[in-house]
């Protein structure tokens, strides 16, 4: 939202456009993060007995997330939104003119770091719960 408030292309389209497009990009990025997490969990399920399963899960999730976050500029560029949700999930003002460079330079790396931290914390919580369950048994 902070970036959209100063963005001429978000405010030009009318009141509330910056808020709506901020919500749209948040929904798209959250959905992509969930997909990345499921990919990591799928790999973890196959490697559940492996000692490196936790690290592989983190890096698979981060890799899938990075592909989506850094590829967002190509997919969400104005006029390139595909499918029935193209206009409903419009967040094109974030990728118009010079603002298109701001997302991959600042926000995409921060979102990848957030994905890594989330996966790491999730792994710690799951391991702690597993150890607690073993001690009770």
> pLDDT tens across 67-122, in order?
988 887 777 665 555 555 555 566 666 666 666 677 778 788 998 999 999 988 88
Residue 22 inside a domain? The answer is yes
136 lies in some domain:
no
Q: What tokens were used for 69?
A: 């976050």
Which residue segment(s) compose the domain that 29 sits in? 2-131
**Residue 14 within a domain:** yes
Q: What is the pTM of this model?
A: 0.72
Calculate mean pLDDT across residues 49-59: 82
Instruction: Residue 130: count other Cβ atoms within 10 Å of its Cβ.
Output: 10
Evaluate whether residue 63 is within a structural domain.
yes
Residues whose CB is less than 8 angstroms from the CB of residue 11 and which lie 6 or more positions away in sequence, other chains included: 5, 17, 18
Q: How many domains does the chain have?
A: 1
């Amino acid at each position: 939202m902070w970036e959209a408030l100063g963005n001429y292309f978000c405010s030009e389209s009318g009141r509330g456009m910056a808020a709506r497009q901020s919500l749209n990009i948040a929904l798209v990025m959250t959905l992509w993060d969930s997909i990345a997490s499921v990919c990591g969990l799928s790999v973890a399920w196959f490697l559940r007995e492996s000692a490196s399963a936790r690290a592989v899960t983190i890096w698979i999730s981060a890799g899938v997330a990075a592909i989506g976050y850094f590829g967002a500029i190509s997919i969400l560029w104005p006029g390139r939104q595909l499918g029935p949700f193209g206009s409903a999930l419009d967040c094109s003002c974030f990728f118009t003119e010079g603002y298109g460079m701001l997302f991959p330079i600042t926000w995409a790396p921060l979102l990848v770091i957030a994905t890594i931290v989330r996966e790491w914390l999730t792994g710690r919580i799951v391991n702690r719960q597993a150890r607690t369950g073993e001690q009770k048994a």
